């Protein structure tokens, strides 16, 4: 009879003698639930306690809107007469809370608030990303991953520079040369020009660093921002705009007693940090801010820009809201909700009606974690905006149109010989040969079989997709017989998942099926877990789009 250890060895779920399957820190309580994690503050002597900072004493900062400095063309990028922007990644210090001293940060905007691009569908832009950072990182960088050695830029070098960046415009349909491929990093004193065609529906995209081996540190340091794409179909709906549309970037941080960002990392805390969970929630770079609002309808554009935390969002006092869009734009119709779970990198577009809350305060929470506070004016209620009954028609993908179905596994490996735990996709490392080769213009079904105890948010670059369903399976049967034996019915996506997505939550011991039209551009892209620590070691794989 097979022992569980023998089954694990047979299925390739362990990495050698003395190994055993590891359920890592973030345990999903049930499908689509936020994970329960140990915080980054593993020692009270090293980090500030949550009670040390009073919430809701600092006003919400708005993102820093970027302005074009003119128009440019670039033949290499096939860009003609495109609006040109130059963004400088710089080291700054900023106060993140009234009672904190200035904190070291890296910033695209020159402040703690995220940068913001507000652009139109069909009007491409050129963005030059300039690395003006110091040569040494202020966070405890670990050794480069093995995959770094395969980068052409590593030829003749023993180590990669600590300060390396490359910006990925998350959710954008872009040529591979501008996608922010992890190996396309560049060091301080250099820059990279990218072209974003913006040939897609209106959506709230976002940008973040994606440099191989250091992306998780660079995002934690502050290299993230907004990219809001608009079109005429959305304009016609009369949704709240201007001061009544609030882009909210959610992150979390732990702080040292000196007010600096704390990240547990070798040699201080062990081999590597499997997930970073901070003690404090930040919105647009401020710890637990407040925002003054009028008694009327507001549009909140929310992105979970945390390294690993799942935000389970709700408003106090039983206040409900309507979800009108997710990652890749508007839903077919508003979805009423009182709680919404956002995995890292997911976005939500919601409407909140404050018109009946004159003079009240309403807090945004995440399962007990205070996120921010809304202070509603006592002025007369306004009705200048309305809740639409329908939004954007979305044609569901028919499974019969798919040219193939791929079954891909999410795996964890742990060794007890002092080596680092490794997380993989289909048991392959980043540097292994490409196994997912897709044809441009075709649709495929990807079945993501999660063999771990975590919910993993899986992101595919360049494309958008639709969630088909989820179904539990017997991990014992898979380990014993390499067979996927269902142990429950197929569950359709939740109503708020019924639109176009670019990140999907894959719950433990379930197969999550997505239909992916590979439209756009040929080239090399990637898919990965968007828990940044998982992505870095080594839950990230390239895929090729061919003609």
* pLDDT tens digits, one per residue of 386-413: 889 999 999 999 999 999 999 999 999 8
| Residue 98: pLDDT over 90 | yes
Q: What angle do CA 197, 200, 205 make, to 5 degrees?
A: 85
For residues 173 and 312, membership in a common domain is answered with no
CA–CA gap between residue 124 and residue 192 (Å, rounded): 17
Q: Following DSSP, what letter does each residue of 234-302 receive, concatenated?
A: HHTTT---GGGEEEEEEEEE-B-TTSPBP---TTTSSS--S----SEEEETTEES-EEEE-SSEEEEEE
Does a structural domain hold residue 529?
yes
Does a structural domain hold residue 387?
no
Query: Residues 340-363: pLDDT tens digits?
Result: 999 999 999 999 999 999 999 999
Mean local confidence (pLDDT), 185-193: 96
For residues 78 and 178, membership in a common domain is answered with yes
Band of the pLDDT at 268, cuts 50, 70, 90? low
Secondary structure (3-state) at 331:
strand
Q: Residues with Cβ < 8 Å from 536, sequence gap 6 or more? A: 145, 213, 215, 216
Mean local confidence (pLDDT), 466-483: 92
Name which residue leads in pLDDT, 38 or 535: 535
Mean pLDDT, rounded, of the chain: 88
Task: Judge contact between 515 and 465, C-beta under 8 A.
Answer: yes
For residues 82 and 223, membership in a common domain is answered with yes
Mean local confidence (pLDDT), 232-253: 97
Mean local confidence (pLDDT), 211-220: 94
pLDDT attached to residue 141: 84
- In total, the chain counts a number of residues equal to 547
Q: pTM, whole model, 2 decimals? A: 0.91
For residue 188, which of 206, 222, 211, 156 has the smallest C-alpha distance? 211
For residues 482 and 536, membership in a common domain is answered with yes
Does a structural domain hold residue 272?
yes
Does a structural domain hold residue 488?
yes
Name which residue leads in pLDDT, 319 or 148: 319
Does a structural domain hold residue 47?
no
Question: Which residues are registered as beta bridge partners of 350?
Answer: 300, 323
pLDDT attached to residue 267: 53
Secondary structure (3-state) at 536:
helix
Quote helix, strand, coil % in the chain, to nearest 5: 10, 40, 50
For residues 277 and 311, membership in a common domain is answered with yes
For residues 92 and 217, membership in a common domain is answered with yes
pLDDT attached to residue 145: 53
pLDDT attached to residue 179: 98
Secondary structure (3-state) at 178:
helix
pLDDT attached to residue 380: 85
Question: Which residues are registered as beta bridge partners of 510?
Answer: 472
For residues 101 and 188, membership in a common domain is answered with yes
Band of the pLDDT at 368, cuts 50, 70, 90? confident
Band of the pLDDT at 418, cuts 50, 70, 90? low
Please tell me what DSSP assigns to residue 63: P
For residues 370 and 423, membership in a common domain is answered with no
Please tell me what DSSP assigns to residue 535: H
pLDDT attached to residue 160: 77
Query: Residues 23-67: pLDDT tens digits?
Result: 333 333 333 443 333 445 444 458 999 999 999 999 999 999 999
Strand runs labelled E in 132-271: 164-165, 167-170, 186-187, 191-196, 203-209, 224-230, 245-253
CA–CA gap between residue 373 and residue 58 (Å, rounded): 10
* Antiparallel, parallel or unpaired: β 186-187 and 164-165: antiparallel
pLDDT attached to residue 243: 96
pLDDT attached to residue 415: 61
What's 184's domain CATH number? 2.60.40.420
- Its domain, for residue 471, covers 4-30+396-546
For residues 439 and 415, membership in a common domain is answered with yes
Mean local confidence (pLDDT), 293-299: 96
CB-facing half-sphere around the CA of 118: CA atoms within 13 A: 11
Task: Judge contact between 507 and 31, C-beta under 8 A.
Answer: yes
pLDDT attached to residue 32: 40
Q: Name the domain count of the chain.
A: 3
Residue 312 tokens read as 């389970």
pLDDT attached to residue 420: 63
Mean local confidence (pLDDT), 87-100: 98
For residues 345 and 464, membership in a common domain is answered with no
Mean local confidence (pLDDT), 513-528: 98
For residues 114 and 226, membership in a common domain is answered with yes
For residues 288 and 309, membership in a common domain is answered with yes
Gap between the terminal Cα atoms of the chain: 49
CB-facing half-sphere around the CA of 1: CA atoms within 13 A: 3
Does a structural domain hold residue 421?
yes
* Antiparallel, parallel or unpaired: β 369-376 and 290-293: parallel
Query: Residues 109-140: pLDDT tens digits?
Result: 999 999 999 999 999 999 999 999 999 999 98
pLDDT attached to residue 396: 96
Task: Judge contact between 358 and 295, C-beta under 8 A.
Answer: yes
| Residue 153: pLDDT over 60 | no
Q: CA of 236: how far to CAs of 201, 239, 355, 391, in Å?
A: 14, 8, 23, 10
Band of the pLDDT at 158, cuts 50, 70, 90? very low
Does a structural domain hold residue 391?
no
Strand runs labelled E in 113-221: 115-120, 125-131, 164-165, 167-170, 186-187, 191-196, 203-209
Does a structural domain hold residue 388?
no
Residue 501 tokens read as 């997505």
Neighbours of 123 (CB within 10 A): 14
CA–CA gap between residue 247 and residue 118 (Å, rounded): 11
């Amino acid at each position: 009879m097979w022992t569980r250890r023998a089954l694990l060895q047979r299925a390739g779920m362990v990495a050698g003698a003395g190994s055993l399957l590891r359920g890592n820190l973030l345990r999903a309580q049930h499908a689509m639930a936020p994970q329960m994690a140990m915080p980054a503050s593993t020692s009270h002597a090293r980090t500030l306690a949550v009670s040390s900072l009073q919430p809701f004493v600092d006003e919400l900062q708005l993102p820093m809107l970027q302005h074009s400095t003119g128009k440019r063309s670039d033949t290499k990028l096939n860009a003609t007469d495109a609006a040109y922007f130059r963004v400088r990644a710089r080291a700054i210090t900023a106060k993140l809370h009234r009672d904190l001293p200035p904190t070291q940060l890296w910033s695209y905007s020159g402040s703690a608030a995220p940068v913001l691009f507000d652009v139109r569908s069909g009007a491409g832009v050129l963005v030059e990303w300039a690395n003006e950072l110091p040569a040494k990182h202020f966070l405890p960088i670990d050794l480069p991953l093995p995959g770094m050695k395969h980068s052409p830029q590593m030829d003749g070098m023993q180590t990669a520079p600590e300060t390396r960046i490359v910006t990925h415009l998350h959710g954008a349909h872009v040529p591979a040369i501008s996608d922010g491929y992890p190996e396309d990093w560049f060091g301080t004193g250099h820059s990279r020009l990218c072209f974003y065609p913006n040939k897609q529906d209106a959506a709230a995209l976002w940008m973040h660093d994606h440099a191989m081996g250091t992306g998780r540190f660079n995002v934690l340091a502050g290299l993230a921002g907004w990219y809001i794409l608009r079109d005429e179909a959305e304009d016609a709906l009369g949704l709240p705009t201007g001061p009544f549309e609030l882009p909210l970037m959610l992150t979390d941080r732990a702080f040292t007693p000196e007010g600096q960002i704390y990240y547990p990392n070798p040699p201080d805390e062990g081999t590597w940090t499997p997930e970073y969970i901070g003690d404090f929630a930040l919105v647009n770079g401020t710890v637990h801010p407040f925002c003054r609002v009028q008694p009327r309808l507001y549009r909140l554009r929310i992105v979970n820009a945390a390294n690993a935390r799942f935000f389970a969002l709700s408003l106090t006092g039983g206040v409900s809201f309507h979800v009108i869009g997710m990652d890749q734009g508007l839903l077919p119709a508003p979805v009423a909700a009182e709680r919404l779970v956002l995995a890292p990198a997911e976005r939500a577009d919601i409407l909140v009606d404050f018109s009946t809350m004159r003079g009240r305060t309403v807090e945004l929470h995440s399962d007990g974690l205070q996120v921010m506070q809304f202070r509603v004016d006592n002025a007369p209620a306004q009705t200048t905006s309305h809740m639409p009954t329908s939004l954007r028609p979305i044609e569901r993908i028919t499974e019969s149109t798919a040219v193939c179905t791929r079954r891909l596994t999410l795996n964890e490996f742990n060794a007890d010989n002092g080596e680092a735990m490794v997380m993989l996709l289909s048991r392959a490392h980043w540097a292994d040969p490409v196994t997912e080769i897709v044809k441009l213009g075709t649709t495929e079904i990807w079945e993501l079989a999660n063999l771990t105890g975590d919910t993993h948010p899986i992101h595919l670059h360049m494309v958008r997709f639709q969630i088909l369903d989820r179904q539990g399976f017997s991990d014992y049967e898979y380990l014993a017989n390499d067979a996927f034996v269902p142990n429950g019915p197929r569950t359709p996506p939740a109503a708020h998942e019924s639109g176009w997505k670019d990140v999907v939550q894959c719950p433990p011991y379930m197969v999550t099926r997505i239909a992916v039209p590979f439209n756009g551009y040929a080239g090399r892209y990637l898919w990965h877990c968007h828990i940044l620590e998982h992505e870095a070691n080594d839950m990230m794989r390239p895929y090729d789009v061919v003609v």
